Structure 1
Amino acid sequence: MIKYLNSLKRVLVILSCILLLIGLAGCNSTPSRLTESQLSSYFADNQFANHNKYYIESAKDIFTLDDDIKKTIRRKISSTHSHEERVKRLMTEIIGKPNKDYIYSGAADLTASEAYRYKTANCLSLTIMAYSMAKEANIGAAFQEVFVPEFWTDRQGQKLANGHVNLRLFATQHNHIYHHSIYTKEVDFAPEVNSQSLNKRTISKAHIQALFYNNRAANALIEGDLDYAYHYLKQAIELHPDDSPTWSNLGLLYKRRQLIALAEKAYNKALELDPNNLTPLDNLAVLYKQQGKLALSKSIQDKLKTKRANNPFYHQYQGDLALESGDYLAAVSHYKRAIRIAPKHDSFYFGLARAYYSLGDNNKTQQYLAKAKRYADFDDDSHRYQAKLNMLGN
């Protein structure tokens, strides 16, 4: 079992549809510059099943659209030669509106064609879909990593730390001497993310492919398939060795397989690439505690607490932990601190309502459920809060 903060399990994964209000993290990344021999020293093929047993999707599998989807795009775009109109038409008639035409599901790591057909995927997969559609429409597109604070979601009892990517569309006008951008538009499948106010950087298609593998690896970890997870992570690192979260996930995998020295090595590689990535620090603190290096573990934990003090999602996370352990008054305190930092986020109020419900205070439960509904960005969340209010009112 993987242990994290307060002995809960957590897997770091770029699932890319998150809520944020303040701060940024992970802006610095140092290229790894590993030789092939150095890179191989981080792997442990002999500890896992042969890779021939597992299918790893190719770039063609991930990015290629089915022929009928391509025909739909060409039919809707072909009637206009305006660069701006082509982008707008792609946005409104083909990609559609997040949370209206597509439903977010953190566990749905799908290819471009699958995301279009099922209309349900996580934001990484939806961004891949939008990129492939833009390319088919002869519209320029670039992937962007958006630097966001730590944020945790829960899946099957495991805490997932999330990141975020989006897409920038651009149409260009050419003449005989030069070309220049005349229209740009961001496509973001997390509309509650105010990405305009956050730092971001353009990342490569290969990096996105590696993130896709990282997501698949995290899902395999959750399901307990360590061999499949290993081969996805190895493929991700070989494709793009400079991604800190992927190295952190490799460390988690090694820890589960009791390859402690390799786990520590992978965590330190993650920190070398991005000193602002706090998750491998978390994992190192747990690892050192289990090894009896208590002073070193406590030093890291104190540093983490200081760094996270102004992150409302950290206080929400602590509230969730308190709620799960039955310390409802502590949960109330943590959720209220999150609200003081970021007062317009629905899940903070929902957590507070859950805490008061556990304390038997129905009036405050209804009060904070109503506030959660007021600040909900997604229709399904709003309906969920209303259903709970209706139940309490009966």
Structure 2
Amino acid sequence: MFKLYFRRVFKTLHNYRFVSLISTSLLLGACSTLEYSAANGKTHNNPFKDELFPTYQSFNIETEDEVFSLGEDALVYMEESINYLQDPKERIDALVDDLFTQSNFKLLYVNDANTIASETFKTKSANCLSMSIMAYSLAREADLEVRFQEVIIPEYWTNREGFSLLNGHINLRISPRVQSNIHYFNRTGITVDFDPLSANDRFTNLFITKNKVLAMYYNNKGADAFLRGSHDEAYAYFKASATTSPTFDDVWVNLGYLYKVRGDLELAQRTYEHALALDDDNYTGWENLAILLDGIGEKRQAKEIKEKVERKRFENPYYHLMLGDQEFNRGNWRAAIKYYRKAIRLDDGPHEFYFGLAKSYYKLGNIERSEEYLRLAKRHSSLEQDKQHYQGKLNLFSNL
């Protein structure tokens, strides 16, 4: 699932790994207006500007039912494989076993695949947001108690179409449903997490509403549309996200960036400020605001904000990974190596850091060091598809 932030800056919850993602959500009607407050204390009656996106209403936005409904194939699967079990704990075990270990149901993690539950079941490939939506619907079909959780992970970026995308993450908590005639000595349930790196006790998990998850889905779809250059469609999805969950600060950052792209800098600034009023720790919102202020000549204020954000991010290894990727894409491979090494000094676990070194040394013509770091990247990978990816590259080296 995604916090997809645009950076040139954008946030997605794919890519709440999710793309971009906790309070009670308010669903507003299509003609309703939302009063929102900017950081300067001013209020504005309408945060949307439809006239900037004249064709946005021509795009079909999936309804909640369409996003969460299962197809006939999934219902047949549940009937034949899960629902015949009488004990809810056995249903939980069987469902989780099928999701993660059965060869006929093995899921493929695809970071930019944002799909509805029925499609995810058919293709067996999606990002963690779409996988979690599908798993939620399967668990509900099994008459289980299920809740979404946002995982509070460090800022983590991926690159796509020339943008740095800030990712978020969610998972599920599944437990037996409360029944008056049954008492469970342990009803804590289990956490279902489609990212093995997040499925541990290092990160805080916070319960979030189904509405919030729907808003995340719309946010991801809006980011996908933006990256395709379909700005009116992106607006349609971002507006749907913001009205579905008005306190979802990430989508307001993305909406602000979209206003900036369309040339309404005043509205973009107000929208960034609104996101920051919702969450003062939204560093992407601060960064986007600083870039906008710098562009309109507010150099001193922009510099102060940028320095504040950099101080906050300096101890985050993924921040240095992002900086390394930026230098790599500019052809500054030695500078990239310095950032990748800094990331490893802060956290020597993630395989992406070693791959950064491998590709940089390859560009510098140092095949031996490149192969060394490819092996380390493979060793530090937890997903089989990543291991296979690195092994494929190592096989190419053996043919040199």
TM-score, normalization by structure 1:
0.90
The question of whether the paired residues in 1 share the 8 Å contact of 2:9 and 2:164 is answered with yes
- In structure 1, the residue matched to 2:35 is 38
For residues 181 and 228 of structure 1, do their structure 2 counterparts lie closer, same or farther at Cα, with a shift above 3 Å needed? farther
User: 2:241, 2:251 within 8 Å by CA — same for their partners in 1?
Assistant: yes
In structure 2, relative to structure 1, the CA distance for the partners of 1:380 and 1:254 (3 Å cut) is same
Separation in 2 of the partners of 1:54 and 1:98?
38
- Whole-Å Cα distance in 1 between the matches of residues 381 and 173 of structure 2? 26
1:362 matched to 2:367: yes
> Is the 8 Å Cα contact of residues 146 and 195 (structure 1) preserved in structure 2?
no
Distance 1:257 1:279, change over 3 A: same
State the secondary structure of the residue aligned to 1:331. Answer: helix
Which of residues 235, 243, 267 is equivalent to 1:238? Answer: 243
- Which residue identity lines up with residue 137 of structure 1 in the other structure? A
**Equivalent runs, 1:9-20 vs 2, <5 Å:** 9-16=8-15, 18=17
Match of 2:121 among 110, 116, 126: 116
DSSP-derived class of the 2:226 partner: helix
TM-score, length-scaled by structure 2:
0.89
Question: Is the Cα–Cα contact under 8 Å of residues 17 and 189 in structure 1 kept in the other structure?
Answer: no
CA distance in 1, matches of 2:329, 2:115: 31
Q: Does residue 279 of the first structure (1) align with residue 279 of the second (2)?
A: no
Q: Distance in 2 between matches of 1:318 and 1:209?
A: 31
Task: Provide the C-alpha distance between the structure 2 equivalents of 1:230 and 1:16, rounded to a whole number of angstroms.
Answer: 18
Query: What secondary structure sits across from 2:196 in the alignment?
Result: coil
**Counterpart-to-counterpart distance in 2, 1:227 and 1:281:** 25
Query: Shift of the alpha carbon at 1:176?
Result: 5.3
Whole-angstrom CA distance in 1 between matches of 2:376 and 2:307? 33
Q: Tell me what 2:303 maps to.
A: 298
2:42 — aligned with what? none
Superposed CA deviations along residues 239-273 of structure 1, whole A, max 9, x for unmatched, are 11000101001001101101111111111111111
Judge which range, 213-222 or 169-178, deviates more.
169-178
Q: For residues 1-394 of structure 1, what are the structure 2 equivalents within 5 Å?
A: 9-16=8-15, 18=17, 36=33, 38=35, 40-93=45-98, 95-97=99-101, 101-175=106-180, 182-393=187-398, 394=400
Deviation at 1:32, TM superposition (A): 9.7
Q: Secondary structure at the match of 1:265?
A: helix
For residues 279 and 305 of structure 1, what CA distance do their matches in structure 2 show? 11
Structure 2 SS opposite 1:281? helix
TM-fit CA distance, 1:365 = 1.1
Q: 2 CA distance for matches of 1:96 and 1:37?
A: 42
Shift of residue 131 of structure 1? 0.3
Q: Answer whether contact 2:256 2:268 (CA < 8 A) is retained.
A: yes
State the partner residue of 1:22.
none
Distance 1:245 1:205 in 2: 16
Q: CA deviation at 1:9?
A: 2.6
Deviates more, 1:291-300 or 1:46-55: 46-55
CA distance in 2, matches of 1:379, 1:33: 40
- Following superposition, the deviation at residue 183 of structure 1 comes to 4.7
Q: SS of the counterpart of 1:196? A: coil
Instruction: Tell me by how many angstroms 1:301 deviates.
Output: 1.1
CA distance in structure 2 between the partners assigned to 1:318 and 1:98 by the alignment? 39
Aligned residue type for 1:145: E
CA distance in 1, matches of 2:7, 2:139: 41
Partners of 1:301 and 1:180 lie apart in 2 by 52
CA–CA separation in structure 1 for the residues paired with 2:129 and 2:89 = 25
Tell me how far 1:354 sits from its aligned partner: 1.3
Cα 1:304–1:29 change in 2 (3 A) is farther
Q: Which runs of 5+ in 1 are unaligned?
A: 20-24
Q: CA deviation at 1:18?
A: 4.8
Residue 61 to residue 180, structure 1, CA distance change in 2 (3 Å): farther
Q: Please give the secondary structure, in 2, of the residue aligned with 1:109.
A: coil
Tell me if structure 2 keeps the 8 A contact 1:30–1:272: no
1:285 is displaced (CA, Å) by 1.1
Structure-2 separation of matches of 1:113 and 1:187? 19
One-letter amino acid of the counterpart of residue 224, structure 1? G
Residue-by-residue CA offset, 1:285-327 (whole Å, 9 max, x unaligned) = 1101111111111111111111011100000111111112222
Q: After superposing the two structures, state which structure 1 stretch, 174-183 or 272-281, moved more.
A: 174-183
CA shift, 1:361, in A, is 1.6
How much has 1:8 moved relative to structure 2?
Answer: 6.2
- Deviation track 1:340-394 (CA, whole Å, cap 9, x = no partner) reads 1111211100101111122222221111111111111222221222222222233
Q: Distance in 2 between the 1:370 and 1:44 partners?
A: 51
Q: Identity rate of aligned residues, in percent?
A: 35
- Which range is displaced more, 51-60 or 97-106? 97-106
CA deviations over 1:216-256 (Å, ceiling 9, x no partner): 10011111111111111111111110001010010011011
Q: How far is the alpha carbon of 1:36 from its aligned partner?
A: 3.6
Aligned-pair CA distance for 1:37: 5.1
1:81 alignment partner, SS class: coil
